[in-house]
Amino acid sequence: MIRPGLTLALWLAIVVLVVLNDIVGDTWIAATLSVRAVEWYKVLVPLPYLVLMAIIHARRTAGPRWFEAALLAALLWPSSTVLADFLYVRLTYDEDPASFLDRFAFWWGAPYPLLVLGLFAAPLLAGMAFARR
């Protein structure tokens, strides 16, 4: 069953965690670690929480239309979380869009695409796992 309200509520929880994690990473963690370590911190800490949200979503939307619900979450969560993260960086640090896009530079080891990929894949994989039961 497709539940857009649930998808939106779980997305809001993810966004709040990602932005709060960025705040902690940019203030307290950045004072003690290197820039690359802080970027990895900002990506790796939200991933277990993201998996938990995907499992909650899959359990609540299990049924004959699980794929549509999982696809809605898989398309909504990455794009809107990246937008919210960009707005946080833009409003807090007045960072230009070009420097924000440097976060996606996987060729120099930027881990941010891993978070975006996780946001896309987690609802689909969790939905598939619960649909097989």
Ordered per-residue pLDDT tens for the chain, 133 residues: 788 899 999 999 999 999 999 999 999 999 999 988 999 999 999 999 999 999 999 999 998 999 999 999 999 999 999 999 999 999 999 999 999 998 888 878 889 999 999 999 999 999 999 997 6
Q: Which two tokens stand for residue 61?
A: 């939307």
Domains of the chain, residue spans:
4-131
pTM: 0.91
Distance separating alpha carbons of residues 118 and 47, to the nearest angstrom: 7
Contacts of 34 (CB under 8 A, 6+ apart): none
